[in-house]
Amino acid sequence: MTFNKLSLCLAMTCCVALPALAEIDLSGSWASINDEDAMERGAGPNPDDWAGLPLNAAGKAKALAFEQSTISMPERICWFQTQWHIAAGPFSLRMWAVPDPLTGRVQAWVIGAWETRAPMTIWMDGRPHPPKDAPHDQTGFTTGVWNGNELIATTTHMKSGYVRRNGAPISDEATIVTHFRRHGDMLTLTLFMVDPVYLTEPYIITRSYNLSTNPVSIGGPPCTQGDEGVPEGRVPHYLPGKNPMTSEMTKIYGIPAEAEMGGAETMYPEYRDKIKDKFVLPAKCERNCGGPRGGGGN
Amino acid sequence: MAGAAKEQVGKTVKRNFTNPMAGWVLAASLAMCGAFSARAAELDSGGLEVIKVRPDFYMIAGAGGNIGVNIGSDGIVLANAGSAAAADQVLAELKKLTDLPIRMIFNTEAGPDFVGGNLKLARAGLAVRTGSNLAEIIAFDAVLSRMSARNANPSYPGDAWPNDAFLANRHAVRMNDQGIEAWHVPAAHTDGDSVVMFRKSDVVVTGDIMNMDRFPVIDLDKGGTIEGEIEALNKVIELTIAPIPYIYKDVGTYVVPGHGRLCEQMEVVDYRDMVVIVRDNIEDLIKQGKTLDQIKAAHPALAYETRFGTEPGATDAFIESVYKSLTTTKK
């Protein structure tokens, strides 16, 4: 083998080997594909639908105490969702890279804000997460690493919030790990929520996006603290056993009460076998219909 | 066939994502990463954690109760002094931050994890008004009464007592080019609580009316009440400002709680709401004629036990104090 051929061979080997370490360009506007969990992400989930969430006893109790007017409290009107809202909300993503001014390497990836979620800055420069007693803010603190062509981002230091927009809680001790995988013009996010306070197991969901030429908005307007009818100092909540919404899923869809309360086992397919004898298909679907008698309200 | 294969792939993918074991491996890895980063910060400071809150303000954690540290042209103004055992370490950390003397120490209450360090820190200081080699110690009068009591336990020498005790609801000074206000919040955690606001730094130090590590301790024997605790938290909410209208562009007023991590107004709102909800739950059970044991068995604080009740006995102690506070008040 001549020197030139050897060089060429080495160069080709490097080229083949490089993708394992390669970064992928994630920049652009990514339009959300909202087929999956459309109701939960759009109009919002049914108030008593906590099925499929690995809530522990404390999480269930907190969800049952949740009254929707909580978010109309004067102190909470300008409250933001946590970064989990990437998965729980309907919005599209816009991502861009921030270069290090000296080296030109990507110092951070940024996902632009929405009206109710702060931007997510994914630090790629190896900086550590803040110490445990550091403040938790609206953005959380996120670092990222490349695993081949997959970006893995870890978010800590968030404020408390909701894993589902009907009061299913997540605590300020929660961590989100987000995997970004790009396949051509499609982007898939897989999000792992770990919360030692309210979840017994990680809650894992995926969201998909299509590359779009329509620019996605990267921020909401400044917030105004208006009066939404809850007097200052009032703390809306339901007393134990007094939540009036807890039978809605049973009334509308025939789903057993034990299933709507969630818990880890309700995440798994085999749970359907456990409750199949308790499930009664309604004669007529009244709201948000799907399934065999769904569509058109049949 | 294609459909079946697709379905099988879908099942495989789903099972991989929802495999509990894989999830727990991930969780354990995350927990280890978190533990390492927190530990690294502690080791650097001999077990203390020094958090820079603002350019002129720090929070020292791990010295008993949290300590607020304001540094300016006049010197150091402290909000609380930590425990006696940690005083040398606190002094060492302060020395790393500045060579200026300690001028004032505000005590938000009389608990040993907040006043235990008074003696050493005051003696390392220099008073402004008297010129003595003893920093001024400022607290609500009940703190002085408690620390100087004949049967005080632990007992404190005179140099550790507040030498500027106040009786009004508000006691204000101007140091380090800013207004510093101590607001007495009556009958909350105890009868001697105050919260200290540093106006220019935009930081409020609460003492143990807010404890991010556990349910609040309502010390009935020392004059604490559940209603006073709620009013005290409302006062902190009133003193603080959320980052409105630019929610994520800036932060709002910082809050240094008695224990646990640095906070903003939203955490105070969360904490106040927790206290109100548990109070309401217990009050409802009292109206139903339940006894204290029956109320404890009903788990009125269940929604918060995994966050604030992990310390053994913390949940029962909170329920009991709320129950006694409510039933005593109604007599």
> Which of A42-46, A103-107, A128-132, B85-89 is the least confident region?
A42-46
**What's the whole-number mean pLDDT along residues A150-171?**
96
Please report whether residue A292 resides in a domain. Answer: no
Residue B314 within a domain? no
Flag whether B331 is in a domain.
Answer: no
Question: Do B243 and B103 share a domain, yes or no?
Answer: yes
pLDDT at B242 over 70: yes
B7 has pLDDT over 90: no
pLDDT recorded at residue A223: 87
3-class DSSP state of B38: helix
Q: Kindly state whether residues B28 and B61 are assigned to the same domain.
A: no
Tell the burial category of B308 from Cβ atoms under 10 Å away from its Cβ (0-12, 13-18, 19+): buried
> B202 and B221 share a domain?
yes
* Domain assignment of residue A192, yes or no: yes
**Residues ≥6 apart with Cβ < 8 Å to A201:** A54, A264, A267, B20, B23, B24
Mean of the per-residue pLDDT values for chain A? 88
Can you say how many angstroms the Cα of residue A68 is from the centroid of all Cα atoms in its chain?
20
Out of A120-134, B122-136, B172-186, which region has the weakest mean confidence (pLDDT)? B122-136
pLDDT at A21: 52
Question: Among partner residues A65, A118, A129, which is closest to B277 by beta-carbon distance?
Answer: A65
Task: Give the model's pLDDT for residue A44.
Answer: 85
B159 plus B11 within the same structural domain: no
pTM value? 0.88
A6 pLDDT more than 70: no
pLDDT tens digits, one per residue of A75-102: 999 888 889 998 888 899 999 999 999 9
Residue B140 tokens read as: 């609500």
- Whether residues B36 and B64 fall in one domain: no
Domain that holds residue A167: 28-212
CB B233 within 8 A of CB B255: no
pLDDT exceeds cutoff 90 at A263: yes
In a shared domain, residues B159 and B256? yes
Q: Which residue has the higher pLDDT, B248 or A61?
A: A61
Q: Is A167 helix (H, G, I), strand (E, B) or coil?
A: coil
Higher pLDDT, B172 or B246: B172
Structure tokens at B114: 């907040």
Would you state the structure tokens that stand for residue A290, as one six-digit string?
């799907």
Q: Sorting pLDDT into bands at 50, 70 and 90, what band is B27?
A: very low
Are A135 and B264 an interchain contact pair (Cβ–Cβ within 8 Å)?
yes
Enter the ipTM: 0.89
Interface test with B, best of A56, A66, A67, A132 (most B CBs within 10 A): A132
Does residue B55 lie in a domain region?
Answer: yes
Lowest mean pLDDT of A125-134, B212-221, B245-254, name the range.
B245-254
Q: Pick from B29, B49, B274, B277 the residue to mutate for testing the A interface (most A CBs within 10 Å).
A: B277
Higher pLDDT, A247 or B82: B82
Q: Given a cut of 80, is residue B44 above it in pLDDT?
A: no
Number of domains observed in the structure of chain A: 1
Mean pLDDT of the region A167-189: 97
Instruction: Answer whether B248 sits within 8 Å of A192, measured CB to CB.
Output: no
Asked whether residue B16 carries a pLDDT value surpassing 50, the answer given is no
Question: Which residue on chain B is closest to A192 by alpha carbon?
Answer: B23
Q: Would you say A136 and A159 are in contact if contact means Cβ atoms under 8 Å apart?
A: yes
Mean pLDDT of A114-130: 92
CB contact under 8 A, B51 and A133: yes
Residue B31: its chain A contacts at CB < 8 A? Answer: 196
The pLDDT of residue A111 is 95
**A285 in a structural domain:** no
Q: What is the pLDDT of residue B55?
A: 97
Least confident of A57-71, A216-230, B257-271: A216-230
What's the mean pLDDT in B168-177?
A: 97
Distance from CA of A4 to the nearest CA of B (A): 46
Mean pLDDT of chain B: 88
Q: Pick the residue with more confidence: B29 or A269? A: A269
B267 chain-A contacts, CB cut-off 8 A: 136, 159, 172
- The model's confidence at residue A49, banded by pLDDT at 50, 70 and 90, is very high
Helix B314-329, helix B226-239: angle, nearest 10: 100
Is the separation of the CB atoms in B301 and B322 below 8 Å?
no
Q: Between residues B146 and A23, which one has the greater pLDDT? A: B146
DSSP-assigned letter for residue B312:
T
In this predicted structure, the answer to whether residue A69 has a pLDDT above a threshold of 60 is yes
Tell me, yes or no, whether B62 lies in a domain.
yes
Do B36 and B178 reside in the same domain of the chain? no
Q: How many CB pairs under 8 A join A and B?
A: 149
What are the two backbone dihedrals, phi and then psi, of residue B143, each rounded to the nearest 5 degrees? -70, -45
Q: Band of the pLDDT at A216, cuts 50, 70, 90?
A: very high
Angle at B121 between CA B120 and CA B123, to 5 degrees: 65
pLDDT at residue number A146: 97
Place of tokens 């921030």: A98
Structure tokens belonging to residue A74: 């004067």
The CATH number given to whatever domain includes residue B162 is 3.60.15.10
Residue B200 has pLDDT above 70, yes or no: yes
The single-letter DSSP state of residue A81 is B
> What is the C-alpha to C-alpha distance for residues B283 and B279, in angstroms, rounded to an integer?
6
Domain assignment present for residue B120? The answer is yes
pLDDT-derived band at A65, boundaries 50, 70, 90: very high
| DSSP structural state of residue A20 | G
Q: Give the residue with greater pLDDT, B34 vs B58.
A: B58
Per DSSP, the residues of B44-57 read: HTTT-EEEEEETTE
**Which chain B residue has the Cα nearest residue A235?**
B273
Largest CA distance in chain A: 84
Among residues B238, B272, B306, the one where a domain terminates is B272
| Domain range for B27 | 2-40
Mean predicted confidence (pLDDT) in B29-52:
54
pLDDT value of position A3: 44
Q: What is the number of domains present in chain B? A: 2
> In sequence order, what are the residues at sequence separation of 6 or more whose Cβ sits closer than 8 angstroms to the Cβ of residue A84?
A161, A162, A163, A170, A174, A176, A191, A193
Smallest CA–CA separation between B209 and chain A, in Å?
Answer: 17
Amino acid at B192: G
Does residue B182 share a domain with residue B253?
Answer: yes
pLDDT, position A222: 84
Asked whether residue B288 is assigned to any structural domain, the reply reads: no
Question: Do residues B127 and B266 share a domain?
Answer: yes
Q: Count CA within 13 A, CB hemisphere, residue B72.
A: 18
Domain annotation covers residue B14? yes
| B244 and B186 within one domain | yes
Q: What integer pLDDT is reported at residue B37 of this predicted model?
A: 35
Q: Which of A7-11, A145-149, B10-14, B286-290 has the lowest mean pLDDT?
A: B10-14
Q: Is the pLDDT of residue B300 over 70?
A: yes
Are B9 and B158 part of one and the same domain?
no
Query: Which residues, including other chains, have CB under 8 Å from residue A52's CB and lie 6 or more apart?
Result: A262, A266, A267
- Please give the C-alpha separations between residue A131 and each of B36, B38, B51, B192, B260, in angstroms, as whole numbers: 10, 5, 8, 32, 12
Residue ending a domain, among B272, B302, B325, is B272
Cβ of B59 within 8 Å of Cβ of A133? The answer is yes
The answer to whether the beta carbons of residues B26 and A147 sit under 8 Å apart is no
| Mean local confidence (pLDDT), A253-258 | 90
B73 and B145 fall within a common domain: yes
Cβ–Cβ gap A129/B277 under 8 Å: no
Is B14's pLDDT higher than 50? no
* Domain final residue pick, B229, B248, B272: B272
